[in-house]
Amino acid sequence: MPQVNGVTTVVARIANVLREFGHQVAVVAPRYPGRAAEAPGELRIPSAAFPPYPAIRLSLPQFGAVARFLDPFEPELVHVATEGPLGLMGRRYAKRRGIPLMTSYHTNFPQYARHYGAGALEPLVWKWLRWFHRPAVLTQTPGEAVAAELKSRGIGNPIVWGRGVDTAHFNPGRRSAGWRRWLAGGDDTAVVLHVGRLAREKNIDVLMEAWTAAHERVGPRATFVVAGEGPETRRLVTRLPWVRQLGFLDRGRLADVYASADICVLPSKTETCGLVALEAMASGLAVVAADAGGFRESITHGRSGVLVAPDDATGFAAEILSLVIAPQRRAEIATAARAAALARDVAPENLALLQQYAAAAGHTAAGAFTRTAQPVEAGV
């Protein structure tokens, strides 16, 4: 099954926006085992599992295949979504053909290096990122703080884009009595939700410690639900056997689950944007998130959500307890969260995207360019 994460969500959104406005798009992405045939305008490159995280696929070097696919398409712009092997192919293609290149920086690889015990490699990671993004006309990144750091480190020409949320799809109106009965068993039971990849860099240890403490204190007044998969799934299920583990959910069911929950807990401290928080906020949830990364830019502490020191499991547990036993406060935060998410709706960003593409392709009007290629290393 293809990866579903912030990168792939944004890439799919870009392709849909371009097609909606009459532009042509070619997408190059990894091939996943058991996946259906390629869609029109799409090239799937053979890929291999990334050993520490088999669900992630690394595309095998196939520059010739990429060139044969893109040459007849005659792209006016190449947008590389990540810095993986497939991104290298897209970068190389743009440079060799003299086509304007845009890049994206979604994943905080330097922080990931520290999480996986390779902190000594962090300077080399930054050096690699400087080299990779150097030819780009623009480098999109979804957070103000991240854009500032990239600029300070001489990486690309950063511009903030990709932090919009589809407030029509994610909305409180999708709240389902059926989902709530299945998840909680009763209308008075609070549904505490976590959505995301179950991996070490998402601060899963803090989530498990906080939920264990909260569960002991709230008892039957709350049920705990996880939507997502990853290398830490087995450990979480073993340590927290009372958690409802939903696994991977498609976009429609995920929106239903968001709206049918009450509290969303997100302890990750490596988010460049934290789109999951905005989706939860748009769905009318009270979000308890790490006081780090993109969450700081989406949540006003105490008003549209709650921010907790990233490694403070006790603090997370206390905030969960507070929201479970105070439904009025929870409702007030949820209302403010929805309002904050509406201010981040995708529509203005979509128009800005067209303007960025036109400028990068050397046109003065957003409708003047027609063809964009998007090599993306999904899941990295």
Domain of residue 306, CATH code = 3.40.50.2000
**d(C-alpha 232, C-alpha 252), whole Å:** 25
Confidence of residue 376 (pLDDT cuts 50, 70, 90): very low
Contacts of 173 (CB under 8 A, 6+ apart): 259
Q: With 80 as the cut, is the pLDDT of residue 174 above it?
A: yes
**Same domain assignment for residues 75 and 224:** no
pLDDT recorded at residue 377:
43
**Same domain assignment for residues 350 and 338:** no
pLDDT recorded at residue 10:
86
Residue 328 Cα distances to 230, 265, 281, 325, angstroms? 34, 18, 16, 9
Q: With 70 as the cut, is the pLDDT of residue 34 above it?
A: no
- Mean pLDDT (whole number) for 344-373: 84
pLDDT recorded at residue 380:
29
24-30 and 77-80 beta bridge pairing? unpaired
Total tally of structural domains belonging to the chain:
2
Across the chain, mean pLDDT equals 89
Residue 1 lies in a domain: no
- Mean pLDDT (whole number) for 136-143: 94
pLDDT recorded at residue 117:
58
- Mean pLDDT (whole number) for 353-366: 85
**Same domain assignment for residues 275 and 306:** yes
**Same domain assignment for residues 79 and 33:** yes
pLDDT recorded at residue 203:
94
Q: With 70 as the cut, is the pLDDT of residue 172 above it?
A: yes
Q: Each residue of 51-102: pLDDT tens digit?
A: 665 656 677 778 999 999 999 999 999 999 988 888 999 999 999 999 999 9
Q: With 50 as the cut, is the pLDDT of residue 1 above it?
A: no
pLDDT recorded at residue 151:
94
**Same domain assignment for residues 131 and 102:** yes
State in Å, rounded, how far the first CA of the chain is from the last one. Answer: 15
Confidence of residue 193 (pLDDT cuts 50, 70, 90): very high
- Mean pLDDT (whole number) for 194-199: 94
**Same domain assignment for residues 332 and 188:** yes
Written as six digits, the tokens of 150 are: 């990239």
Residue 269 Cα distances to 99, 111, 277, 280, 307, angstroms? 36, 9, 13, 17, 11
Q: Each residue of 227-244: pLDDT tens digit?
A: 999 999 999 999 999 999
**Same domain assignment for residues 215 and 144:** no
**Same domain assignment for residues 142 and 18:** yes
Q: Which domain holds residue 155?
A: 6-164+345-375
Of 42-56, 96-110, 316-330, 342-356, the least confident: 42-56
Q: With 80 as the cut, is the pLDDT of residue 365 above it?
A: no
